[in-house]
Structure 1
Amino acid sequence: MSYMELFDKDVMEEEFSSTELLHVLSDKTSFPIDTERKVFRKKEQIAIENEVHDYIYFIQSGICGVWKNEHINNFIGENDIIGFNEILGNEPSFTSVIALTDIITWRFSKEQVMSKLMYSQEGAFYLYQYMKLVNANLLQKQTLQTEETKKQLLLTLTYLGQQYGEENQHHIILPKIFTKKIISNYLGMTRQHMTYLCKDFESNGIFETDTNQFILNKDNITISY
């Protein structure tokens, strides 16, 4: 890679993505390190807040909740990494990570990962790109919190549905794990207010009436904005 390419945003995102990092770490031809396929069942803890963990995990399938002080502050899934935030000093985990569905991961030793990244000329750029992505996600959530609660809820459900659910010509369908309890916790919203907003969306045709799952009517989402 040329020096000038390192200043190209698109090149950085492509060349130093989590997918590319997994490929580099799995490569046995240069500085081979141990790789293990690890499966976690629904509700199983993968990381525990304030505890030191010796491994990082690359999620291949499934969805996790990221918790801090019993408050869920993020959702992560395919191609996301667990434990990479604390890799430099192997510090205690800032958050807990709990499987919301069954999870399939690739597990690596933090110590071996750091050794391989330091062995590579471009290893530091993977750390830089990952932290840049984390900061962007934090900024996105902070921006969302400036919106009024009705718009917060609709934007959040639309994003989660597009990221983790199914989408067809008329609907965005969220996985059933995204319950009213989990979403209200994530948004810092009372269950009563959440229920009120959901009923309002149903009456205006934005939500399909389904007590077990969020189904958004795409034709009416833009109207509510």
Structure 2
Amino acid sequence: MTINKLYNIEAIKRDFSLGKLLSILLDDEVYPIRKQKLVFEKSEIFYMENEEDSYVFAIEKGISSVFIGNQLVNFVGAGEFIGLHCEGSTDETRFSGSVISDEVVVWRFHFHDVLAKIMNIQEGYLYHYNYMISIYPIYLNKILAMGADVEERVFGFLEIIADKFGEEDGPFVKIPSFFTRKLLSDYINVSRMTLNTTIKRLEERELVKLDDRLICVRMPMS
């Protein structure tokens, strides 16, 4: 019998949220594990593993980009995790984070400690399952979007970033300034020239506007 038949997916997302998982990992009363609070400055890179161990990072403050090898695949902010689903990668599949906000505050845990702790909790595996079902659609959608029309692809990714990290500005949502054109073009996998040209076309269609070069995205009506 599958998990989907045993549990309601929305209930899993609610009852086994990543925010609750972080609280559990920080709680030393039951099965204490190693942890370290770290602060990374803008542009610093941190890796999910080294020669000694593999790590899981929980973001407490700030925003980081996520790379698999040299490929920019995601952006994560407060309350999100990096590295909970990977271990034993090669150089081409090695996960890393790079700080794009002024700083990022993280909790670093040892990968096997995290797995051991959640497996010692009743139905704790559902925290890991919840993480997996949240992370893989992001990577899958990014791959599928590569075959889309350029304007559709650019607007779709701008919409995702605005919805997750932006600030409301009337019917638009303003994308923070640290999402530079270079960063966006790397993420969307288009040249900076193509990105700029496409943004101009989207502006003509009134789907985006520029506010002192900051990109503002028109969001769908709720």
TM superposition score normalised by structure 2: 0.84
After alignment, is 197-206 or 160-169 more displaced? 197-206
Any stretches of 5+ residues in structure 2 without a counterpart? none
- Paired residue for 2:121? 120
Q: Equivalences for 1:17-56 in 2 at 5 Å?
A: 17-47=17-47, 53-56=53-56
Structure 2 distance, partners of 1:131, 1:49, is: 19
Structure 1 distance, partners of 2:218, 2:130, is: 35
Any stretches of 5+ residues in structure 1 without a counterpart? none
Q: Structure 1 residue 67 and structure 2 residue 67: aligned?
A: yes
- Paired residue for 2:130? 129
Q: Equivalences for 1:1-225 in 2 at 5 Å?
A: 6-47=6-47, 53-86=53-86, 90-92=87-89, 94-101=94-101, 102-210=103-211, 212-217=213-218
Q: Runs (4+) of structure 1 moved beyond 4 Å?
A: 3-6, 48-53
Structure 2 distance, partners of 1:148, 1:171, is: 23
3-state SS, counterpart of residue 214 of structure 1? strand
Structure 1 distance, partners of 2:120, 2:69, is: 37
TM superposition score normalised by structure 1: 0.83
Percent sequence identity is 26
Q: 1:48 to 1:117 in 2, by over 3 A?
A: closer
Structure 1 distance, partners of 2:48, 2:33, is: 25
Q: 1:168 to 1:6 in 2, by over 3 A?
A: farther
3-state SS, counterpart of residue 57 of structure 1? strand
CA contact (8 A) 1:6 1:12 kept: no
Kindly provide the amino acid, as one letter, of the partner of residue 163 in structure 2: Q
3-state SS, counterpart of residue 197 of structure 1? helix
Please identify which structure carries the higher strand content. 2
